[in-house]
Amino acid sequence: MVSFQPTEEQQLIRDTVAAFAREQIRPLAHEADEQGAVPSAVIQQGWELGLVQSAIPEAHGGAGDTRSAITGALVAEELAWGDLSIALHLLAPRLVVYPVLQLGTAEQQARILPTYAGATFRAGAAAVMEPRLDFDLAALGARARRDNGAYVLSGTKCCVPLGSQAEHLLVYARTDERDGYDAVSGFLVEQGAAGLRVIEREKNMGLKALETSEIALEDCRVPAANRLGGEAGGVAAGGFATLMNYARVGLGAMAVGVARAAFEYARDYAKERHAFGVAIGRKQAIAFMLAEMATEIDATRLLVWEAAWKLDRGAEATREAYLAKNYAANMVLKVTDNAVQILGGHGYIREHPVEMWLRNGRGFATFEGIATV
């Protein structure tokens, strides 16, 4: 039987993160979007909640808590409710820590994990997406060629969060010409490595506060020891599909958070805004729209939770994770657009956050691998 009630510990974590999002993140979201930068102080405050370090084993400086996709989904939703850019910035190190924790060799864990177990935020990220019209996770354009005890990486990646700041980038590339997830491996590349070049910070429609970069791999040479999982190829042996399932759950949960923020703002506005002597929320057209928004948000959350539940049980969750992410991408666009519609002319001006949520929500249809749980 599936339980829809978080455990006492999960509820405590959820409440703590929700309070942080409400009191610290949301008041900064508009200015961060306008300035195109996330304040470092709020990231450090969020880091002190231990949302990344908690899963790192005690032997490597962390708290040694058991990683849970459901708990991660609860956290991701609340942070994205506060602001998507800040949430992605704060949780970006998970994109390195969790795959190393899940698939890395003992040597990789001992070398990488302590970096992210300390009291100060350290940037890390993954390079998954590529600037191609035919981009396909199962047919990546980036290549990794074996050469005298090392791998030589070539290709271009885009939408890399904190690309110029990350101390480690987990770069995904094909190790042979076959298509399919089994042909993909991950490679740990340190910032400043020869052949790794940050082309530019991207100028996106949304996520304006988050630095996302396009990077070039110009015969970037990395030691064979930096292949995630070692020469056994932990990613190639079915691990990449699992990592992407965790990423889809994370993105689905964040889409729920963004949509919930837009719905609540539009609902409250509809209660206060009067036209022809009555609150517009009492008009049938607006009331039905709000009811449909609430239904879609709750339905998507359940899809996300189902996929997370299966991941926590170690069950095959590709179908559930893909459906959750795909449904979430459609849902968040619809809900945020409806929120703009409910506010009317006010929805189009920047003093109200619904236009920002619409811009951010539009990206979920294209996002892959930039968040995880």
State pLDDT tens for residues 182-232: 789 999 999 999 999 999 999 999 999 999 999 999 999 999 999 999 886
Neighbours of 267 (CB within 10 A): 17
**pLDDT value of position 372:** 96
Residue 50 tokens read as 């231990």
The region of weakest confidence among 85-89, 215-219, 233-237 is 233-237
State pLDDT tens for residues 168-187: 999 999 988 777 777 899 99
State pLDDT tens for residues 355-366: 999 999 999 999
**pLDDT value of position 43:** 98
Average pLDDT rounded to a whole number, residues 56-77: 94
**pLDDT value of position 30:** 96
Q: How confident is the model at residue 1 (pLDDT cuts 50, 70, 90)?
A: very low
The region of weakest confidence among 96-110, 165-179, 254-268, 315-329 is 165-179
Instruction: Report how far residue 251's alpha carbon sits from residue 326's, in angstroms, rounded to the nearest whole number.
Output: 10
Residue 145: phi and psi, rounded to 5, are -110, 130
**pLDDT value of position 177:** 73
Contact of 321 with 248, CB cutoff 8 Å: yes
**pLDDT value of position 234:** 59
**pLDDT value of position 233:** 61
Residue type at position 274: H
**pLDDT value of position 143:** 95
- Asked whether residue 47 carries a pLDDT value surpassing 90, the answer given is yes
Residue 202 tokens read as 């991207």
Residue-averaged pLDDT of the chain: 94
Instruction: Report how far residue 209's alpha carbon sits from residue 84's, in angstroms, rounded to the nearest whole number.
Output: 9
Q: How confident is the model at residue 42 (pLDDT cuts 50, 70, 90)?
A: very high
Residue 331 tokens read as 């849902």
Burial of 221: CB neighbours in 10 Å, binned 0-12, 13-18, 19+? middle
- Asked whether residue 235 carries a pLDDT value surpassing 80, the answer given is no
Instruction: Report how far residue 322's alpha carbon sits from residue 303's, in angstroms, rounded to the nearest whole number.
Output: 10
**pLDDT value of position 239:** 87
Catalytic residue among 167, 202, 264, 368: 368
Instruction: Report how far residue 7's alpha carbon sits from residue 16's, in angstroms, rounded to the nearest whole number.
Output: 14
**pTM to 2 decimals?**
0.95
Instruction: Report how far residue 11's alpha carbon sits from residue 235's, in angstroms, rounded to the nearest whole number.
Output: 33
- Asked whether residue 237 carries a pLDDT value surpassing 60, the answer given is no
Is position 58 annotated as part of the catalytic site? no
- Asked whether residue 254 carries a pLDDT value surpassing 60, the answer given is yes
- Asked whether residue 141 carries a pLDDT value surpassing 60, the answer given is yes
